[in-house]
């Protein structure tokens, strides 16, 4: 299916004409003159998401007032949103809820998983993980007597070498945020289980980028972002997955009233709701959840095999064109060449990556910069075309050929990169 010959000579217009996902682009609002290769950081607005927020604000909030908790389905939204996400991550009903941020959900699942493996004291993760995963793991081990965090890339070369009879939890980023490398969910979960440990998957860069199969891979827990590839809006709440086989024994540490079995009885003592609902904590952000549910409606008819196929071709087309057109500039791709080993982004190392990315953005090509020297480009199959990719590489070539990045205007670092 995937050719290893270069795509660099292929005509972008013909590739677009043969693209079954091309019609999805109309569902998004994208500014004129912008090629948006940063949907892996913040997905764009869709008509469905904006309509849903507008309806929720004008009608459910302004007119319905407090009645809307019952009449507009607000109360059930964290679970209803979880049902929409379940299909995209390969989870049967009752295992996914939407609440809080990824960071907070990581804390909940890590503590819950540690409690399921008493006597074991090690969390194993990768040093290259997204920092919040490591910071939360460091916080968790600081709270548990004798617990420790061991990292592949620091304490050993690979995760496999670190997994042993003291391992309680293996925490893995499914797709590496910096390099785009895709980890083997089936294999690593099986290795964790063989050692008696549990596997937690962070799906921030895979949910909405490729078909995730949590149940089939026998993952224990997962967390993931909705504001990246799923396009649910800035700060949209995250999702949390716990395999049904663990529900009866589960205790998560943030025991708030929304995860209580009977929140409106206002009882003195905490009693967890059954199942995944116990992961809820406090009042959900209704307007953000409405945007999320609007955005997720656009995913109902997406064929995930077509999505993955296009993602692989977009990323390959970009890599082949960069090799062909920008060879003189010493860019080094840190993204795996093997399509089965990468997610939906391409990361290029370049000594002057920060100012170069600022210059690209000024020219209408939006990607992002990741320290110390990476230009990161995300390829989102629902609204990026092969023509966008070809044009993006021409802009990159122009910025590098003219050394536009040397302009002082591009040197000052902003708070968010
Ligand atoms: C984006 C990202 C997060 C973000 O966590 P927040 O709580 O939403 O800020 C966490 N983990 C990974 C791997 C990410 O890529």
What CATH number is given to the structural domain containing 346?
Answer: 3.90.1150.10
Query: Exposed, middle or buried by CB within 10 Å (0-12, 13-18, 19+), for 295?
Result: buried
Number of structural domains, the chain? 2
Residue 247 annotated in ligand binding: no
Residues 233 and 375 in one domain: no
The answer to whether residue 417 scores a pLDDT higher than 90 is no
Let me know if 376 is a catalytic residue: yes
Percent of the chain with pLDDT strictly greater than 90: 97
Atom number, ligand 1, closest to the C-alpha of residue 101: 7
Let me know if 177 is a catalytic residue: no
- The string of pLDDT tens digits covering residues 302-320 is 999 999 999 999 999 999 9
pLDDT band at 3 (very low <50, low <70, confident <90, very high): low
Active-site position among 202, 220, 368, 388? 202
Question: Which residues are paired to 377 by β-bridges?
Answer: 346
Q: So what's the pLDDT on residue 414? A: 86
CATH number assigned to the domain comprising residue 140? 3.40.640.10
The answer to whether residue 2 scores a pLDDT higher than 70 is no
Centre of ligand 1 from the C-alpha of residue 14, in Å:
36
pLDDT band at 416 (very low <50, low <70, confident <90, very high): confident
Range of the domain at 213: 51-297
Residues 87 and 132 in one domain: yes
Let me know if 130 is a catalytic residue: yes
Could you tell me if the CB of 106 is within 6 A of ligand 1?
no
Per the domain annotation, does 417 fall within a domain? Answer: no
Final residue of a structural domain among 264, 282, 297: 297
Contacts of 99 (CB under 8 A, 6+ apart): 78, 105, 237, 238, 240, 258, 279, 280, 281, 284
Per the domain annotation, does 399 fall within a domain? Answer: yes
Centre of ligand 1 from the C-alpha of residue 393, in Å:
28
Per the domain annotation, does 32 fall within a domain? Answer: yes
Phi/psi at 329 (nearest 5 deg)? Answer: -100, 5
Per the domain annotation, does 88 fall within a domain? Answer: yes
Final residue of a structural domain among 275, 297, 319: 297
Final residue of a structural domain among 235, 262, 297: 297
Could you tell me if the CB of 173 is within 6 A of ligand 1?
yes
Residue to probe by mutation, ligand 1, list 205, 208, 225, most atoms within 8 Å of CB: 225
pLDDT band at 394 (very low <50, low <70, confident <90, very high): very high
Residues 98 and 125 in one domain: yes
pLDDT band at 381 (very low <50, low <70, confident <90, very high): very high
pLDDT band at 8 (very low <50, low <70, confident <90, very high): very high
Centre of ligand 1 from the C-alpha of residue 227, in Å:
10
Q: So what's the pLDDT on residue 64? A: 98
Residues 62 and 192 in one domain: yes
- The string of pLDDT tens digits covering residues 130-167 is 999 999 999 999 999 999 999 999 999 999 999 999 99
Residues 34 and 56 in one domain: no
Residue to probe by mutation, ligand 1, list 204, 230, 370, most atoms within 8 Å of CB: 204
Residues 263 and 120 in one domain: yes
Mean pLDDT computed over 357-365:
97
- According to DSSP, residue 60 is labeled I
Mean pLDDT computed over 381-398:
98
Average pLDDT score, the chain: 97
Residues 112 and 201 in one domain: yes
Residues 258 and 387 in one domain: no
- The string of pLDDT tens digits covering residues 189-242 is 999 999 999 999 999 999 999 999 999 999 999 999 999 999 999 999 999 999
Residue 132 annotated in ligand binding: yes
Centre of ligand 1 from the C-alpha of residue 152, in Å:
19
Per the domain annotation, does 416 fall within a domain? Answer: no
Per the domain annotation, does 279 fall within a domain? Answer: yes
pLDDT band at 413 (very low <50, low <70, confident <90, very high): confident
> Is 268 in contact with 27 (CB distance < 8 Å)?
no
Residue 369 annotated in ligand binding: no
Per the domain annotation, does 5 fall within a domain? Answer: no
Per the domain annotation, does 137 fall within a domain? Answer: yes
**Nearest CA residue ID for atom 4, ligand 1:** 102
Q: So what's the pLDDT on residue 339? A: 96
Query: Exposed, middle or buried by CB within 10 Å (0-12, 13-18, 19+), for 103?
Result: middle
Residue 202 annotated in ligand binding: yes
Residues 71 and 130 in one domain: yes
CA distance 275 to 68: 25
Let me know if 277 is a catalytic residue: no
Let me know if 325 is a catalytic residue: no
Residues 292 and 390 in one domain: no
Could you tell me if the CB of 128 is within 6 A of ligand 1?
no
Atom number, ligand 1, closest to the C-alpha of residue 133: 11
Residues 313 and 192 in one domain: no
Atom number, ligand 1, closest to the C-alpha of residue 227: 8
Q: So what's the pLDDT on residue 166? A: 98
Centre of ligand 1 from the C-alpha of residue 39, in Å:
14
Residues 19 and 64 in one domain: no
Element (H, E) at 292: helix 286-297
CA contacts within 13 A on the Cβ side of 283:
5
């Amino acid at each position: 299916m995937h050719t290893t010959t270069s795509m660099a000579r292929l005509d972008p217009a013909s590739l677009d004409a043969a693209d079954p996902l091309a019609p999805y682009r109309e569902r998004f609002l994208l500014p004129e003159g912008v090629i948006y290769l940063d949907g892996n950081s913040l997905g764009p607005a869709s008509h469905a998401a904006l309509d849903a927020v507008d309806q929720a604000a004008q009608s459910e909030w302004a007119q319905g007032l407090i009645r809307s908790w019952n009449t507009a389905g607000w109360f059930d939204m964290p679970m209803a949103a979880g049902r929409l996400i379940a299909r995209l991550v390969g989870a049967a009903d009752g295992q996914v809820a939407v609440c809080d941020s990824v960071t907070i959900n990581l804390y909940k699942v890590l503590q819950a998983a540690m409690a399921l493996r008493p006597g074991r004291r090690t969390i194993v993760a990768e040093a290259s993980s997204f920092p919040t995963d490591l910071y939360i793991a460091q916080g968790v081990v600081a709270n548990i007597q004798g617990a420790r965090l061991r990292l592949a890339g620091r304490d050993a070369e690979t995760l496999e070498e670190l997994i042993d009879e003291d391992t309680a939890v293996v925490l893995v980023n499914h797709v590496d945020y910096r390099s785009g490398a895709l980890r083997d969910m089936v294999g690593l979960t099986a290795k964790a289980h063989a050692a008696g440990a549990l596997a937690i998957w962070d799906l921030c860069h895979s949910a909405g980028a490729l078909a995730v199969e949590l149940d089939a891979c026998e993952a224990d827990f997962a967390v993931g972002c909705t504001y990246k590839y799923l396009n649910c809006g800035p700060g949209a709440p995250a999702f949390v997955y716990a395999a049904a086989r663990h529900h009866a024994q589960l205790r998560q540490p943030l025991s708030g009233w929304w995860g209580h079995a009977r929140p409106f009885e206002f009882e003195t003592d905490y009693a967890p709701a059954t199942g995944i609902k116990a992961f809820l904590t406090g009042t959900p952000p209704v307007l953000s959840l409405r945007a999320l549910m609007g955005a997720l409606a656009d995913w109902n008819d997406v064929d995930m095999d077509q999505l993955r196929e296009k993602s692989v071709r977009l990323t390959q087309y970009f890599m082949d064109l960069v090799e062909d057109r920008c060879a003189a500039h010493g860019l080094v791709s840190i993204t795996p060449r093997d399509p089965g080993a990468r997610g939906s982004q391409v990361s290029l190392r370049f000594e002057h990556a920060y100012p170069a990315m600022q210059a690209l953005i000024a020219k209408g090509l939006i990607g992002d910069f990741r320290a110390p020297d990476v230009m990161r480009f995300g390829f989102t199959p629902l609204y990026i075309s092969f023509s966008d990719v070809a044009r993006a590489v021409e802009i990159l070539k122009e910025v590098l050929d003219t050394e536009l990045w040397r302009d002082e205007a591009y040197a000052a670092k902003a708070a968010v990169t």
